[in-house]
Amino acid sequence: MNYYEYQFTKLTDEDYQQDLLINDLAEFGFDTFEDTDTGFKAYIPAENIDQAALAEVLRPYETLFSYDIALIEQKNWNEVWESNFEPIEISDKIYVRATFHPARPDFAYEVVIDPKMAFGTGHHQTTSMMMEWMLETGFEGKNVLDMGCGTGILAILASKMGAAQITAIDYDPVCYDSTIENSALNNIGNITPLCGSKEAIPDDRYDIILANINRNILLEQMVRYVQVLKPGGLIYFSGFYESPDLDIISGEATKLGLKYVAHKKLKDWVAAKFATNF
């Protein structure tokens, strides 16, 4: 599969506008993002481009960003990642690296990710905040659901933290394949990857649900999450902003019997913790 690379250059110093644009591009169909010194790069499958529709998405940002477009052929994709993907450290306890980086056994949890075309390397604020929440959560012996699993990074971390069984779901076949491959790289055998959306969630009961997607999908799928969450269970939502998204997410969660506990914020992105109220 060929990808288009859009390299956006900021024309102002407003970081919040960049986050808004990334959110709009993600909802349009861009599935991978990289920060640069002058802005960011965004990638989308070439077959998914509707130039007229994309022009409407970009119109509000014309005075805020300039951009260049390049076609990335599939055979060059891994070279692109290897030249840009740097290891990540989370709270001095989690080390996320690719296979071409040296190991760091001094970290409590080391996660090996070959991202390829799948979203979820830990670089984005939402993923790093979810991992921070996980460090504050007991996973030993728990049944976990990871929605929008991307590369499988959160599912793999849950397994390394002692989860008994993890179900990892993503609608993108590339993410499904990536989760299988990355599970093998980490010698993980208790992750069940599934390709699909909320309809793919098994009729099981989960102690912990991790859902790092975006506001609209979370709102659309939340009923199903609550149906499979155990009494006394925890759910973590991310992929949205503090304002106005957190109030909207919290309002819907309250209607469904969840209670807001706390949230983390990083560059206007939010990862929020909810608990069952039943």
Boundary residue ending a domain (81, 104, 135): 81
- What percent of the chain is helix, strand and coil (3-state, nearest 5)? 35, 35, 30
- Could you tell me if 114 and 74 are in contact, meaning their C-beta atoms sit under 8 angstroms apart? no
Q: Determine, yes or no, domain membership for 229.
A: yes
Instruction: Quote the pLDDT of residue 201.
Output: 98
Q: Determine, yes or no, domain membership for 86.
A: no
Query: Which stretches in the chain have pLDDT values below 70?
Result: 15-16, 74-84, 115-123, 278
* Phi, psi (degrees; rounded to nearest 5) at 140: -55, 120
Residue recorded with tokens 């296979």: 99
Q: Determine, yes or no, domain membership for 104.
A: no
Instruction: Please tell me whether residues 147 and 257 are part of one structural domain.
Output: yes
Instruction: Quote the pLDDT of residue 43.
Output: 85
CATH number for the domain harbouring residue 25: 3.30.70
Instruction: Please tell me whether residues 178 and 59 are part of one structural domain.
Output: no
239 Cβ contact partners less than 8 Å away, ≥ 6 residues apart: 126, 148, 211, 212, 213, 214, 215, 217, 218, 269
Instruction: Quote the pLDDT of residue 78.
Output: 60
- Could you tell me if 32 and 43 are in contact, meaning their C-beta atoms sit under 8 angstroms apart? yes
**186 to each of 96, 160, 179, 190, how far by Cα in Å?**
11, 9, 11, 11
Instruction: Please tell me whether residues 182 and 260 are part of one structural domain.
Output: yes
Instruction: Please tell me whether residues 65 and 184 are part of one structural domain.
Output: no
Q: Determine, yes or no, domain membership for 109.
A: no
Q: What are the CB-based long-range contacts (under 8 Å, 24+) for 60-63?
A: 61/17, 61/21, 63/11
- Could you tell me if 166 and 202 are in contact, meaning their C-beta atoms sit under 8 angstroms apart? no
Report the distance separating Cα 147 and Cα 18, nearest Å: 25
**Amino acid residing at 10:** K
Instruction: Please tell me whether residues 195 and 248 are part of one structural domain.
Output: yes
Q: Determine, yes or no, domain membership for 254.
A: yes
**Strand 165-170 to strand 191-195: parallel, antiparallel, or no bridges (unpaired)?**
parallel
Task: Residue 220: name the closest of 230, 229, 211 by CA.
Answer: 211
Q: Determine, yes or no, domain membership for 226.
A: yes
Instruction: Quote the pLDDT of residue 256.
Output: 96
Boundary residue ending a domain (81, 107, 132): 81
- In sign, the C-alpha dihedral spanning 136, 142, 147, 152 is positive
Instruction: Please tell me whether residues 138 and 191 are part of one structural domain.
Output: yes
Instruction: Determine if the peptide bond prior to 244 is cis (ω within 30°).
Output: yes
**Strand 39-45 to strand 32-35: parallel, antiparallel, or no bridges (unpaired)?**
antiparallel
Tens digit of each residue's pLDDT (9 = 90 or more) over 141-160: 999 999 999 889 999 999 99
CATH number for the domain harbouring residue 164: 3.40.50.150
Boundary residue ending a domain (28, 63, 81): 81
Q: Determine, yes or no, domain membership for 106.
A: no
Instruction: Please tell me whether residues 22 and 135 are part of one structural domain.
Output: no
Q: Determine, yes or no, domain membership for 107.
A: no
Report the distance separating Cα 243 and Cα 245, nearest Å: 5
Instruction: Please tell me whether residues 131 and 233 are part of one structural domain.
Output: yes
Instruction: Please tell me whether residues 17 and 139 are part of one structural domain.
Output: no
Report the distance separating Cα 247 and Cα 107, nearest Å: 36
Instruction: Quote the pLDDT of residue 13.
Output: 77
Host domain of residue 263 = 124-276
- For the chain, the domain total comes to 2
